[in-house]
Every structure is written in structure tokens, then in C-alpha cells.
Amino acid sequence: MLVFLISCFSFILLVSKSFFKPMGNFSNVWFSEELVKFLALWFSKGRNAISFLNLPLMTDHVKSKLENVVEKEEGVSLLDLPDLTLECIFERLPPNGLCNMTAVCSSLREKCTSDHLWEKHMKEKWGELIGSAAYKEWQCYVVSRNKASILEKSRKKRDLYGKFSKIRKLLWNRSKGNEDDSKIGNSSEMSSIMDWYLSLETGKFWFPAQVFNREVQNGHVGFMLSCYDAEVSYDCRTNTFSARYPSYGRRIIEDDIEWNRLRAPTVDTLPYVLHVSDCLDDLKPDDHIEIQWRKSKEFAYGWWYGVVGHLESCSGSKLNCHCHASETVLLEFKQYTPGSRWRQTVINRKDHREVGNEGDGFYGGIRKLYSDKEISLWNRLLPNNTLE
């Protein structure tokens, strides 16, 4: 610094007469302003450098101006902004920006981890895919993770006898149904929306969803126009998902599943449970439906898309159709060619239960599609060529 001051002293002395007195020329005024800013930035790292301003060649006006600039440079802080201004800034930050801000200081970490900031990002990216089943699974995931964390801390703090006594007490309480969960889930940070979002983004959390056209991309065209329950995990590197399907005897995993092949579960019925149909009396020709189907009793149900057709005794004319008054309902699966054993099936609307056999599979519960959005999702999956 001393070498710099000595080398610059002659320069400052040279320009002092023309620089520090009032001038009307615009270029000189601009030059003086820029030089003041330069000096302010140079000396902003050390207040002791302001003693240099006591040089006799510098006027009081310029000295005061430079001191003010230095004070402003040193005094401005992000935390000095009003809370409303900070909120507006944080609301415009993407998720990775909020994560970066949490590493600055404890005050910003508290602000940037608040649920109301992350709720918007959660809805924008995951709102259509995360349903009530995924939320329940997340709550169980948090409790399980916190239990593991508590046990791990206890293991490190206690000696061998203490470890076994703690676990014995935990197992005893669990068997009696009075396990103390008061310490579990108390951390708002661990169960916050931010934590949920990041667990989804990193793929740590597998959540329930349904997959359209299961394994069709691997050559299994028999699953065309179906939707199966699965546990899925997100891969942020490829922006795709992996799915684990419940299966009899072995686990089936499918990778590279695009977003448009996923949906949140539409009903609370578990994959192995018969869905209770509440729409049978409303079914009429041209209605769109989903019906449970499984290959055998040991397998989980999948949901298959179809439409209600006209009975053989009906002419097909809307004016003379009485199919809606019949106890039987004809279901058509138009992805199969006419004459195929998979093309049609008949159910009883008054006493419907699981029907079928080991050869043709078993048909279960039915849900009617009322939403144009749901129907359009199925229509875009219709194959170009019908199946045998």
C-alpha cells in the first residue's frame, strides 16, 4: 500500500489543480466522479486508509464526499432491508437459490426454510403427482428416519450396557403400544416442506404413484392402456423416474419413466384389494371407465381403460337404446382387434364382484371417468395399431 501511495502521489498532485476545483466541463465532472468511486472502493477494506484524505491538496468538499461513499460501501447489508422487501426477493428465487441462501447465516437460513416459500415450488413441480397416499407415506418416512436418528445418537453416547438397555426399553414400549414418540418429529426442519421437496429431488424418498403402460417400452405390449400402482423415485440427472412394482415372487423395476406416464393414485384402494364400485347404476353406452384386472389371484390389480358399449340385443341407435336399463353392462377395450378374447367382457351391474378365470384373468372394481382431462390422458396413449 505504501509503494502504491508514493507512486500515485505525483499523479494526484498533477491533477489536483484541475480536478478539485469547480469546473463546468462535463467530461471533467464525470472523470472526478469516477475517480471518487474508484478511491472509495480501494479504501473500503480499511478505515485506516482514510487518514490519507488529510492531504492538504484535497478540498473539504471532496474529502467529505469520499468519506460518505466509503461509509455507504461498508454499511450496506442484506439484512438491513425491510422484511417485506426480503420476502419479495426470496419469493422470486428458484429452489437452488433458496438453498444457497440458507448457507449464508442463521438468520437467512430461518427465513429461506419457511414453508410458505417452498409451498409454491412444491405445487409447481410436484402438485399433480403427489397425492394423499404420498403425503401419508412421507409422514411415515419422517417418523422412521427420526427413530433411526435417535437410536444412532443413543448408540454413540452410551456404553455397551446402555445400548442394550435402551433398545430393550424401546422394544418393550412398542410391544405395549405406548411408545414415546414425543421426541420424534419435533424438528420442524426435518419435516418441513423444504425437506420434503429436497427428498423428492434427490430421489431419497420413494412415493406411491401409478404408471401408465407399464413396461411397454421394454416390449411388453400386453400392458397397453393400463395403469399400475408402484413406488417411484425421481432422478434429477435425467428428469425421469424409476418404478418398483408389487409382484408375486419377485420385484420388478422399470427405469427411465417420463413425467407424462405418471399420475397420483386416483382412489385409496390398495393394489391387492377389490375396489368398491359406486357407479354401476350410472353406466351407459359411450361412458369411459377404468376397471381393475389381474392375471391371477396372486398378482396385484392394474387399472385398464375401456368404454361402455351397446349390448348385442341393441341396435346401437341412441334414440332406441335401452342398455342403461339392463342388468348387464358390456365393456369394450378398443386397443384389441374385434374378435379378440380381450376385446369385450360383460358384468352384472346389480351384483358385481370379481369375475373371471385363470385363462382370461380376473376383472374387479370399476370407476367411471367424469373428467375430460382424465379421458384425454388415456386417448393420447391409444396405439396406432390394434393388438391381437
Backbone angles phi, psi at 256, to 5 degrees: 60, 45
Using one digit for the tens of pLDDT, what is the confidence trace for 111-155?
899 999 999 999 999 999 998 999 999 988 888 887 766 665 556
Determine which helix (DSSP H) or strand (DSSP E) holds 9, and give its type and residue range: helix 2-19
User: Which pLDDT does position 77 carry in this prediction?
Assistant: 74
Using one digit for the tens of pLDDT, what is the confidence trace for 2-55?
444 444 444 444 434 444 444 444 444 444 444 444 444 544 444 444 444 444
Determine which helix (DSSP H) or strand (DSSP E) holds 302, and give its type and residue range: strand 302-309
What's the half-sphere exposure (Cβ side, CA atoms, 13 Å) at 386?
Answer: 11
Q: What angle do CA 202, 237, 228 make, to 5 degrees?
A: 70
Bigger pLDDT: 123 vs 383: 123
User: Which pLDDT does position 246 carry in this prediction?
Assistant: 83
What is the distance between the alpha carbons of residues 214 and 221, in angstroms, rounded to a whole number? 9
What is the distance between the alpha carbons of residues 179 and 189, in angstroms, rounded to a whole number? 23
- On whether the pTM is more than 0.75, the answer is no
List C-alpha distances in Å: 107 to 100, 113, 314, 327: 13, 10, 73, 67
Using one digit for the tens of pLDDT, what is the confidence trace for 41-94?
544 444 444 444 444 444 565 556 545 544 555 556 778 888 888 889 999 999
CB-based burial label for 332 (10 Å; 0-12, 13-18, 19+): middle
List C-alpha distances in Å: 95 to 111, 114, 191, 272: 13, 12, 17, 38
> Hey, how many other C-beta atoms are within 10 angstroms of the C-beta on 335?
21
